[in-house]
Amino acid sequence: MPRYTVHVRGEWLAVPCQNSTNTVRWLGKEAVRRYMKNKPDNGGFDSVEEVKFYVRRCKGLGLLDHDDTLEVALEDNEFVEVVIEGDVMSPDFIPSQPEGVYLYSKYREPEQYIYLDGNSLTTKDLVNLGKGLYKIKLTPEAEAKVRASREVIESIVNERRVVYGITTGFGKFARTVIPNSKLQELQVNLVRSHSAGVGKPLIPERSRMLLALRINVLAKGYSGISLETLHQVIEAFNASCLPYIPEQGTVGASGDLAPLSHLALGLIGEGKMWSPKSGWADAKYVLQAHGLKPITLKPKEGLALINGTQMITSLGCEAVERASAIARQADIVAALTLEVLKGTTRAFDTDIHALRPHRGQIEVAFRFRSLLDSDHHPSEIAESHRFCDRVQDAYTLRCCPQVHGVVNDTIAFVKDIITTEINSATDNPMVFDERKETISGGNFHGEYPAKALDYLAIGVHELAAISERRIERLCNPSLSELPAFLVTEGGLNSGFMIAHCTAASLVSENKALCHPSSVDSLSTSAATEDHVSMGGWAARKALKVIEHVEQVLAVELLAACQGIEFLRPLRTTTPLEKVYDLVRSVVRPWMKDRFMAPDIEATHRLLVDQKASVWEVAEPYIEKYRREHIPESRPISPTAFSLASSKNTSHHHHSDSEEYDEQ
């Protein structure tokens, strides 16, 4: 007999259907009837017949025709939503889909597996797990370690030893011993009481990353979870059953207790859960729809699921990967702007940067040379001003290697800390199989990732700060030698006037967001947890800063391509023409004013879409230049910034005489 899970005004109802010819209208009425039956006041209705409603699938939010039969319109065990006409949704109503539903309706169950052992996960792996590209399996070595640590817990319980979090309460209640008959209840109570977060739920990608990272930590074998329970957690991940996890509520020590408790709450079949099949529904229904059973927590297992820095660190992985991507592309965007503003490549000479050999600075200068070298890629724009009387450029052009360079080095520093953190055991107490004992410590403290992500926000922000100044130079006719705001018939048309304002507003927001959260601490848990990291906010605002940086660079890229229109028929270098062509494949030139927001968004996607990004277009030229200009005796490490560089040969305009320094 087919069965449907129907959502009516926040209630989830299981509706069996005996007759396959029943219609969508019948299902809606039956769901409303069951809803009214459960309400003392019949839900405010006199009869089912007076209720007007429409029905939609939870997956993809497609509206259903009332006259279609259920066997045609729906699959067995499908989740649907009955929306009653005239309802005003309460602010705490959880819609059936998270933000950006169009992205999730495209979800395809992955066929590939990634093996986790707790020691070798990379930031890129975790982001890909978040995107739903892999399912998870444990390595045999990890399974053996998990089994061994669980045996230690079993012996503690059997011997009735007093051990924190296993046979005692938590935090201030650490001295309260719990009888063996209540150890299971202790763990369930822990998860329920600690599920006290607020705010919007994490989007599916971030929930998936959080769940995958927790699995990786448990796979290390120092948490004391049973292999049976860990396999159940992995099955939930592989089915993309993702608990409702509010983004606010962690102080980042003792770990990310509130978010991880919400994660565990869904796994034990309580609270809300989301899957591509169900949308948001009660966790027990979502697990059931995927053939899964709620987890029954054994001693220590609730604590094993909720103790650690995985919220800070999983969001930190996304921040590091997005920061790396936008930092690479910022060099390309800035090089295009330099061409449009008729700047010089002289400031990128190898010998200058050899005298201040920071790795990031040297690599950025190299990228500029690889994109702008007129001897290698002839540039008609560069040739047109080879003998002009200007001596040197403004800092926003000339100092890109120094400013962009330290951003690259910051990202590398933070990535190192985050990579260590995602492969660390951050529980308390730790279970040591070799010593047959548990030891209480402080690995749950989030200070490492919190400080690193505050630093990341400060570093990456500078890409937007310097980009906004370059946008100003492009739009200001007294600085650009181009039409005001990059448009003909100025006055009648405003061109890029307000696009520049948008960039300025985002840079200003970033300045407030760059105040480090990890300099704050508030004592919690009756002064047991008297110094905390505030790392959850550090991670969330680092992501917000990076998002703003991506948007500002999208505006600069759009403006630089518009600037090229006024220099035609002259052409820039081959790689930069390829970048121009990519932008023009999604945004046409700005001949007169039109709705601009879609143009900015289309350009933004070219910076964040890994399959058709600005970096993908330019990278082959950068790497070809590297191979041709770097001696074979100095190999490039694929994971480190290049210390090797080529000798610059292209010096268009700016004579050596009359050199001056702008102050």
- Catalytic residues, by residue number, are 164
Side-chain-side CA neighbours of 599 within 13 Å: the count stands at: 20
DSSP alpha helix (H) spans, 272-309 = 283-289, 301-306
Q: What 3-state class would DSSP assign to 524?
A: strand
The DSSP result for 393-451, as a single string, is --HHHHTHHHHHHHHHHHHHHHHHHHHHHHTS---SSEEETTTTEEE---TT--HHHHH
Phi–psi pair at 82, nearest 5 degrees: -100, 115
Question: CA 66 → CA 30, 82, 489, distances in Å?
Answer: 13, 11, 55
* CA separation for the pair 159, 133 (Å, rounded): 44
Burial per residue of 135-171, b for 16 or more beta-carbon CB atoms within 10 angstroms, e otherwise: bbebeeebbebbeebbebbeebbeeeeebbbbbebbe
* Structure-block tokens of residue 402: 């120094």
Based on DSSP, count helices (H) and strands (E) in the chain, helices before strands: 24, 13
Q: Which class for 637: exposed (0-12), middle (13-18), buried (19 or more C-beta within 10 A)?
A: exposed
* CA separation for the pair 180, 441 (Å, rounded): 24
Side chain identity, residue 521: S
Among residues 559, 563, 457, the alpha carbon closest in space to that of 503 is found at: 559
Q: Which class for 276: exposed (0-12), middle (13-18), buried (19 or more C-beta within 10 A)?
A: buried
Residues in Cβ contact with 594 at an 8 Å cutoff, skipping those fewer than 6 apart: none
* Structure-block tokens of residue 368: 């500029």
What is the torsion angle, in degrees rounded to the nearest 10, for the CA atoms of residue 262, residue 267, residue 271 and residue 276?
100
Side chain identity, residue 49: E
Among residues 249, 301, 239, the alpha carbon closest in space to that of 276 is found at: 239
The DSSP result for 265-277, as a single string, is HHHTT-SEEEETT
Question: CA 520 → CA 2, 509, 614, distances in Å?
Answer: 55, 20, 38
* CA separation for the pair 169, 258 (Å, rounded): 17
Q: Token match 């490490």: residue?
A: 637
Rg (CA), the chain: 29
DSSP alpha helix (H) spans, 38-139 = 70-73, 101-104, 123-130
- DSSP class of residue 493 equals B
Do β-strands 246-248 and 272-275 pair in parallel, antiparallel, or remain unpaired? unpaired
H or E element: which one contains 279?
A: strand 279-282
